[in-house]
Amino acid sequence: MRTGEGGIEVQIYGERYSLRSEDSPAHLQQVAEYVDGKFHELAKVGQLVMPSKLAVLASLNIADELFKRDEATRRRDAEVLARIDAIYQLLHRGDGAG
């Protein structure tokens, strides 16, 4: 990893990339290491040697993880809102009956 002028140089699957972001260099390095890990994980599983195919598969895997996490978050949010609504209904059941 090398930093300079607001950017960072990372290595993903043997290739160097210069990245610039408002995020910290440590964050960019962590993201790059995650992507690099996905490449290596997929390279071990299959016979694929073409980096372009690995890139597509890594992208699909990462997108799948993201979609699943987003869906899980939406489900948890809906459950929390339903619980809040149920508590609200319980607390206000007697209102107006006085």
State pLDDT tens for residues 24-56: 999 999 999 999 999 999 988 877 678 888 899
pLDDT at 95: 66
pLDDT over 50 at 91, yes or no: yes
Nearest-5° angle of CA 22, CA 28, CA 29?
150
Pairing of strands 15-20, 7-12: antiparallel
The mean per-residue pLDDT over the stretch 91-97 comes to 73
What is the reported pTM? 0.73
Cβ–Cβ under 8 Å, residues 32 and 19: yes
In sequence order, what are the residues at sequence separation of 6 or more whose Cβ sits closer than 8 angstroms to the Cβ of residue 2?
8, 9
